[in-house]
Structure formats: structure tokens, C-alpha cells
Amino acid sequence: MVMDDVQVKDGVDAQTVDAVKALSGAYKYGWNTEIEMEYAPKGLSEDIVRLISSKNEEPEWMLDWRLAAYRRWLEMKEPDWAMVDYPKIDFQDQYYYARPKSMEEKPKSLDDVDPKLLETYKKLGIPLKEQALLAGVEAPEGERRVAVDAVFDSVSVGTTFQAELMNAGVIFCSISEAIREHPELVRKYLGTVVPVSDNYYATLNCAVFSDGSFVYIPPGVRCPMELSTYFRINAENTGQFERTLIIADKESYVSYLEGCTAPQRDIAQLHAAVVELVLLDDAEIKYSTVQNWYPGDENGKGGIYNFVTKRADCRGDRSKVMWTQVETGSAVTWKYPSCVLRGDDSQGEFYSIAIANNMQQADTGTKMVHLGKNTKSRIVSKGISAGKAQNTYRGLVSMHPKAKNSRNYTQCDSLLIGDKCGAHTVPYIEVKNNSSRVEHEATTSKVDDDQLFYCRSRGMGEEDAVALVVNGFCKEVLQALPMEFAMEAQALVAISLEGSVG
């Protein structure tokens, strides 16, 4: 029995090494799709906000909400507390809306979607077909299936398995569609987890978000398949502002995956997303991200500036949320998926692998805000720095006076490859009652030459050896990912570290 177990995991790891070999060459998703696009005029103004709203055929209330956010944003200042350094963003020098011409007329079904777009997703390993798929694997009928919402620049181009999900009562569609078709749900929950004025980038997102995904799982429903959104930035000089809202009603469950890539370009591009999760009593959400935006070249030219606000509100008692992220891409990452543990006995978990190579900068972590009684949280963060990269873990654990008997455990490990990179750990801990307990462990280590030599003396090449050691370091987080994602993530870990040794 025990041994069979081993075989499964073994398969995963062996695949890593193969994947590395197969994919050797740097960023794999750096190509772009030649497609006729329609842009809103460059720059940001009230008119642009109105234009985005009208393109999405939004009701009045939505436009008002956006405009209020925009006016608010004008008065806000860009935050500078993160340990990231990038040239000032000229918000007037980019496009806020870009959609393929062929999307002007909303396709009635997947069959009507522009073949070029379908081809793009196929090439990314995400064929938009209603069969088992993910990470380039089209599994035979009957195996685990994943529904996909595909977002291309500013618009969702298609969502698979909608009808089948609807049979189970699950709503899975683009957020623009949800605003039109399910306004009662959107109005009730949008902006209740991440308030409009939450932070500079979130407020900007409220004003100009163009699309994203919407999920509603009704009471007592276990979502019959995994849901996922695949974000692709294709257009040049265009920011992507997506918005995701997931509502897990009482006693429901969903596992949601998010993937993202962008072409290789010399000019940095902005991506500012907001993700809101709402959990009612006894609901559970697993949210996994493999973030692989173009990281820029080895001299720091180009790449995505990734400023993301993700938050889960465990409103219901005994609700449970688990964030798992593998952050390998982006030139600059600023991201802190958080849990507000409002319901009694609610639980939040955060598992993270953040890799920064070459000139990448990552400032990422989480916030666990304990408000309810007997709430529990767990943080496992693995930061890997190579090249001249800087990697910061920033985490807040806050136990409020009413959060009696609450627990947090934080484990924060950093691994350095080479001696020109940096790792920083910035934990903030606030405990305002005396029955709660917070445990924090942190380590920093280097990839050990003895470990590499040991692997090589057994026949492994240098890069395979690094991949093996680093995957070992990340093991606990990789194990938290759904199986299909775990394989892709392992391969990614290896690829992102290419050229980091020797």
C-alpha cells in the first residue's frame, strides 16, 4: 500500500526532469498572436471608464460604481512600502481596453469563437474544448475534467462546460456576463471583500476592470469539476485589469485554478487584478494559482508588473479557504492573498512558492486576520532567489480581541542560489487576546554544493540536480496543488531557475 503511494509521487518528480529537458529554452510562452485588435484610446480618463462600461453593456449602477472608484483613485498615492523598485508607471501611456475585433459580436458558443483565438489557447496547452484538459494534457473521456474561462487581453473569449455546470446549479461565466445576467449576486457581493478604496491598484481595478471570472456555487453543492481561468495578455502597451468574484454558499465546495502568461516584450506591462472570495457557513474554496507572466529578460528589460489584491472573506462559521500559489513569472510581483477569518471556527491556509531569478523582484506574502473564535490559519512560504533577484516575504497575522482560542502557524523558508540575490522576511504579528497562539518559524539556506555534487555523482546533470533540490525544498507547497497543476508547477520551478547555476 505504502509503496503504491510512492509510485504516484515518484511519477510526478520523474516528469519534472523530463519536462525540463523537453522545455529547455527560456520563457516558453513568449510568442504572440497576430490578430486584429480594437483598442480604446490610449490613456485614462472618465471617458475611458465610461467606454469600458459601455463596451461591456453594463447597467447604470455598475458605471456609477466605476466612476466613484475612478474619482477616488485620482486622490490616492501609489504605495511605496514594498521592497520593489521599478520606474514610475505612466498611467496615461497605455491602453486600458483591447479586444480582438472578432469579439465585437459576442460568440454564441465556443464553435463561433475566432479560430485564431482557439489556436492561441491550444498552443498554450489549454484547448477550449469540452473534454478533460489542463496543462497540455487531454485526458481520455471519463477522467477529471476542468472547465475553463479564457480571458484574452480585456475580454473573456469563452467558457467551457457552462451548461453542464448549470445543471448542478453552478454559475461559471465571465464577470461581464455575470453583471448583465446575475446582477443581484454581483451587486450583493462585489466590493464587499476588497472595498473600492482598499488600495491604489485595487481602486484602479474597480474603475477599469474589463473582464474576469465569476463563480457561484449554491448551498450544499460540491462543484462537479475543477474550474479555471486562463489569463493571456497579448496586446502591446496594454494593461490587463481583471476581476474575479467567487461565492461559495453554505456547505458548498469548489476548487479553482488560475493560470497566466504573456508574450515576451521589451516594454513592461501592467497587470492589476482583484480577486474576491466569499465563503458562507461550512463552505470551502481551494484557490490555486500558477503565475507565469513574462518575467523580463536577464537584464530586467520588459516583463509584467503584477499588482494583485486577492482576499477571501470567511464570513460563515466553519468555512475554510486555501490559497496556493506558485509565482514564477513577472518582473515585479506585489501580491498578498489574504484571509479574513470572520466566522467562528473558520480556517485559512496559504501555501506559496515564489521564485525570483535574474532581475525579478517579488514582494509577496499573506494576511491572516482572525476575527472569529477558534479560528485557525497556517502559512507555508517558500521563497527562492537566484541571479540578482530580490525576494521578500511579507506577512501579517492579526488576532483580534474576540478571536479567542485562535491559532496561527507560520513557516517561512528562503533558499538562495548564488550570492548576488537576496531574501527578506518581514513578519508582522499582532495578538490582542491572551488565549490565542502564534508560532513563527523562518529559515534561510543556500543551495548546497554538497547536495548538488551528491546528485551529480549519481548521474544527474547540474540543472536537473538544482531542479530536484529546489523541488524538494518546495515539496509541502507542491503537494497542496491539484495533481495536474503540481506537475506543471514542478516543471516551471525548474525552468524558471535555468541558467541560475554554473
* Helix and strand counts by DSSP (H, E) for the chain: 12, 22
> In this chain, which stretch among 11-19, 241-249, 273-281, 290-298 interacts with another protein, using CB under 8 A?
11-19
Of 2 and 163, nearer to another protein (C-beta) is: 2
Of 17 and 340, nearer to another protein (C-beta) is: 17
Choosing from 3, 81, 140, 419, the residue that interacts with another protein (CB under 8 A) is 3
Q: Is 13 in the site for another protein (CB under 8 A)?
A: yes
Grid cell digits, residue 356: 525570483
Q: Is 15 in the site for another protein (CB under 8 A)?
A: no
Taking a C-beta distance cutoff of 8 angstroms, is the pair 151, 141 a contact? no
Cα dihedral 209→257→153→52 (10° resolution) = -20
CB of 33 to another protein, least distance (A): 35
Q: Is 163 in the site for another protein (CB under 8 A)?
A: no
Strands 347-356 and 376-385: parallel
Judged on CB neighbours under 10 Å (0-12, 13-18, 19+), 119 is middle
Identify the CA nearest to 175 among candidates 198, 195, 159, 199: 159
Taking a C-beta distance cutoff of 8 angstroms, is the pair 184, 216 a contact? no
DSSP H or E stretch at residue 365:
strand 361-370
Of 299 and 457, nearer to another protein (C-beta) is: 457
Which amino acid belongs to residue 423? A
For another protein (CB under 8 A), the number of binding residues is 34
Of 108 and 458, nearer to another protein (C-beta) is: 458
CB of 15 to another protein, least distance (A): 11
Grid cell digits, residue 338: 489574504
CB of 469 to another protein, least distance (A): 6
The whole-angstrom separation of Cα 93 and Cα 85 is 19
The whole-angstrom separation of Cα 460 and Cα 373 is 51
Choosing from 5, 60, 90, 105, the residue that interacts with another protein (CB under 8 A) is 5
Which residues touch 53 (CB under 8 Å, ≥6 apart)? 62, 63, 66
Of 128 and 470, nearer to another protein (C-beta) is: 470
Query: Could you say which DSSP state residue 101 is in?
Result: G
Give the burial string for 406-435 (b: 16+ CB within 10 Å, else e): bbbbbebbbbbbbeebbbebebeeebeeee
458-497 footprint of another protein as x/- string (CB under 8 A): xxxxx-x---xx-xxxxxx---------------------
194-233 footprint of another protein as x/- string (CB under 8 A): ----------------------------------------
Grid cell digits, residue 447: 543551495
CB of 5 to another protein, least distance (A): 7
Choosing from 14, 22, 74, 267, the residue that interacts with another protein (CB under 8 A) is 14
CB of 329 to another protein, least distance (A): 23
Q: Within the chain, what is the greatest distance between any pair of CA atoms? A: 68
CB of 471 to another protein, least distance (A): 7
Choosing from 6, 36, 85, 441, the residue that interacts with another protein (CB under 8 A) is 6
CB of 336 to another protein, least distance (A): 25
Q: Is 9 in the site for another protein (CB under 8 A)?
A: yes
313-352 footprint of another protein as x/- string (CB under 8 A): ----------------------------------------
Grid cell digits, residue 160: 467551457
Binders of another protein among residues 404 to 463 (CB under 8 A) are: 448-451, 453-462
**Three-class DSSP category at 194:** coil
Judged on CB neighbours under 10 Å (0-12, 13-18, 19+), 169 is middle
Q: Is 2 in the site for another protein (CB under 8 A)?
A: yes
CB of 497 to another protein, least distance (A): 15
Query: Could you say which DSSP state residue 318 is in?
Result: T
> In this chain, which stretch among 12-20, 144-152, 281-289, 391-399 interacts with another protein, using CB under 8 A?
12-20
The whole-angstrom separation of Cα 501 and Cα 494 is 12
Of 103 and 495, nearer to another protein (C-beta) is: 495
Of 322 and 455, nearer to another protein (C-beta) is: 455
Grid cell digits, residue 454: 551528491
**Three-class DSSP category at 26:** coil
Of 21 and 402, nearer to another protein (C-beta) is: 21
Of 19 and 312, nearer to another protein (C-beta) is: 19
Of 7 and 109, nearer to another protein (C-beta) is: 7
CB of 374 to another protein, least distance (A): 31
The whole-angstrom separation of Cα 381 and Cα 378 is 10
Grid cell digits, residue 110: 465556443
CB of 472 to another protein, least distance (A): 3
CB of 132 to another protein, least distance (A): 22
Instruction: Measure Cα distances from 310 to 88, 244, 325, 335 in Å.
Output: 23, 9, 11, 7
Of 244 and 381, nearer to another protein (C-beta) is: 381
Of 64 and 462, nearer to another protein (C-beta) is: 462
Sheet holding 284-291, edge to edge: 155-159, 146-152, 226-232, 253-261, 284-291, 320-327, 347-356, 376-385, 407-416, 437-446
Of 140 and 459, nearer to another protein (C-beta) is: 459
Residues that bind another protein (CB under 8 A): 2-3, 5-7, 9-11, 13-14, 17, 448-451, 453-462, 464, 468-469, 471-476
